[in-house]
Structure 1
């Protein structure tokens, strides 16, 4: 079943995946810059904080902040890969071959990627809590951390693993059918 080359949904999917990968690439460039600023400017940052808050706020927690940057960069890389695999699936759908065996592998890989992102959210939340606690003495600092179980993310991981099996089974059925004709 061949889809129309101007299928609006497929075009929207392609545009969305490219945009998301562009956003992730920008984030992947910005995160190391932020980390470098923290490393090279921490003395200046600490001096300004001490001057503004009269010593009520301790020094910038550099290690937890750098840990946040590192984990965020890992999450950004995983999400970049996720959208790359999704774009490849969209391409095969546009070509009229959604049950290609590669798509089952792509879906499974996407599930693992999202599972890793879910796992990264645990240490990210822990480090964010350390930074949020550090900001408590600051006036007008409103830092909150939304830590908890992401049921939508976990559900998405399960759905992707199930879809990977469906696509694998569909590809096998198509091969069997082609072999009997």
Structure 2
């Protein structure tokens, strides 16, 4: 006697009878795009405030202002110099500006996902741009921490090579995803030509 054939496997869905869609209007990707839209506006608002602070730092008097730096031996006061203040505020401007650019590229990618077109050819360059911006931010933060550690010894330790593994891994993952999207776009073009 032969066992009965299993023709269709039906698993219970945790969210009821409706399937959770990941692409298209009303999907998870459209919900994430709304979150990215909010983050994009907030990042640009923060960046505008930082730019105003940068401009104000050029003109505010810094006579007799000091910064207290805490380290293991105790606190010490350093004079607040205009160049240090401008560099610090400018660094924050660059940091938030870079992430505003990343979120802008992600919004464009999620717009294509919401339209149901994940392998849009522009997504390849958007992912590469995100990877490049992440690489520049990672290098910039690393250099900034080295500079800050020299400015205030003991208060901040520079990142070691081991601490750079996660950001470098993230950058490499983004570049690999760009190649996956490139291959997906190529396969889609071939499929369109055969139909």
Question: Shorter chain as normaliser: what TM range?
Answer: 0.7 to 0.9
Which residue is 2:159 aligned to?
147
Which residue is 2:64 aligned to?
47
How many residue pairs were aligned?
Answer: 165
Tell me whether 1:120 sits opposite 2:154 in the alignment.
no
Which residue is 1:167 aligned to?
181
CA distance in 2, matches of 1:31, 1:15: 24
**Structure 1 residue runs of 4 or more that deviate by more than 6 Å after TM superposition:** none
* Structure 2 unaligned blocks of 5 or more: 1-20, 68-75
SS of 1:57's equivalent in the other structure is strand
Q: Which has the larger radius of gyration?
A: 2
The alignment yields a C-alpha RMSD, in angstroms, of 2.7
> What TM-score do you get using the length of structure 1 for normalisation?
0.77
Name the one with the larger strand percent.
2
1:105 positional shift: 1.2
Change (3 A) 1:72 1:94: same
Tell me whether 1:33 sits opposite 2:52 in the alignment.
yes
- With CA pairs under 8 Å and 6+ residues apart, which has the higher RCO, 1 or 2? 1
The one-character-per-residue Cα deviations of 1:5-26 (angstroms, maximum 9, x if unpaired) are 211x223311221222122212
1:123 positional shift: 2.7
Name the one with the larger helix percent.
1
> What TM-score do you get using the length of structure 2 for normalisation?
0.72
Which residue is 1:18 aligned to?
37
Change (3 A) 1:100 1:47: same
* Structure 1 unaligned blocks of 5 or more: 51-55, 137-142
SS of 1:179's equivalent in the other structure is helix
CA distance in 1, matches of 2:58, 2:149: 20
1:115 positional shift: 0.7
The one-character-per-residue Cα deviations of 1:50-92 (angstroms, maximum 9, x if unpaired) are 9xxxxx7342132122112222212221111111111111111
